[in-house]
Amino acid sequence: MIQTHELRREFGGIKALAGVTLHVAEGERRAIIGPNGAGKTTLFNVLTGELEPTAGVVRLAGEDVTGRRPHELARRGVARMYQRNELFDRLPARDNVAISVAAAAGPYRPFRAPPASELAAADQLLERVGLGARGGVPARALSHGERRQLELAVALAQRPRLLLLDEPTAGMSPAETGRITQLIATLDRSLTLVIVEHDMAVVLRLAERITVLHEGRVIAEGTPAQVRGDTLVNEVYLGKVVA
């Protein structure tokens, strides 16, 4: 589904990505872990087109999409749950999702009210992420956990083929974490998921394969068991977390 080859991105002299080659198959659930500053969010920004890579290639379902702009990638089925919520703060939760649902039909419908089907689809998604009763509340008035749920609903409303989740459980209470993890785990199996997450319990629950990023490079990749047994990984990342 998504493939990168020798992806590089530099900020000034700093190499945020120093040659990342990645291959995530269709329907796969992949976690990307690594210490802060490893390049995880930069990788996501390149995969969604928000940052252009300094060098390297990104392929989406076989098509070279390197340097494509975010809306072009979104239309090809890439959606993202941001680490720091990117919502329409002053709009009700329902409108946040409805704008996402409406993206497929495009904005150039100036003379008619949006069809009821779009609002119905939005309500259904809110229900699914556990915000069924909160549709009328402005996004900024929701609790942190609810805003994360809304963020997920907005991404799902795009009906993506590839969903990038940037720390979906960040800042959530254990109960909320459990709920959203369960929700993600039960998403349609045809959806390809790439998850950046620090909470290893969440990673182990969701991911089939794990890629470990360190200083802009892939230092290990494999099943959870393989990655856990990797001494280098233990040194740079897992070791620190466990200790």
Partner 1 sequence: MKRFAAPAVALVVAALLVTFPIWSAPWESSRYATTILRDMLVLAILALSLDLLVGSAGMPSLGHAAYFGAGAYAAAIAGQRLGSDDLLLGLGAAILVSVVLALAIGVVAVRAAGIFFLMLTLAFAQLVFALAFQATDITGGSNGFSGVRRPMLFGLDFNGPDALFQLVAVVFLLVLLLLWRIRSSAYGRALVGLRENERRMRALGYDTTRLKLSAFVFAGAIAGVAGALQAYSIRFVSTNDVGVARSVEAFVSVLVGGASTLLGPVAGAIVVLFIERVLPSYVPYAETVLGLVFIVFVLAARQGIAGLVRVAYARVRS
Site for partner 1 in 11-50 (CB under 8 A): 48, 50
Nearer to partner 1, 33 or 98 (CB): 98
The single-letter DSSP state of residue 28 is -
Q: How far is the CB of 56 from partner 1 (least distance, A)?
A: 21
Q: Which two tokens stand for residue 143?
A: 């609790």
Stretch that binds partner 1, among 9-17, 67-75, 175-183, 195-203 (CB under 8 A): 67-75
Q: 199 in the Ramachandran plot: left (φ > 0), alpha (ψ -120 to 50) or beta?
A: beta
Should residue 95 be labelled a site residue for partner 1 when binding is judged by CB under 8 A? yes
Query: Which helix (H) or strand (E) segment is 226 a member of?
Result: helix 224-229
Q: Give the range of 25-33, 57-65, 97-105, 207-215 binding partner 1 by CB under 8 A.
A: 97-105
Q: With contacts defined by CB under 8 A, name the span among 113-121, 201-209, 220-228, 235-243 that binds partner 1.
A: 113-121
Residue for token pair 């998403």: 187
| 44 contacts 240 by C-beta, under 8 angstroms | no
CA distance 206 to 183: 10
Among residues 12, 13, 62, 108, the one that binds partner 1 under rule CB under 8 A: 108
Binder to partner 1 among 98, 150, 180, 195 (CB under 8 A)? 98
Q: Which amino acid is at 103?
A: A
**Which residue in 220, 84, 70 sits closest to 158, CA to CA?**
70
Report if residue 141 touches partner 1, rule: CB under 8 A: no
Return the bridge partners of 59, or none.
3, 64
CA distances from 84 to 145, 151, 218 (A): 12, 9, 24
| Candidates 56-64, 93-101, 122-130, 165-173; binding stretch for partner 1 (CB under 8 A) | 93-101
Residues of the shown chain interacting with partner 1 in the complex, contacts defined by CB under 8 A: 48, 50, 69-71, 74-75, 79-80, 82, 86-91, 95, 98-100, 102-105, 107-114, 118, 154, 158
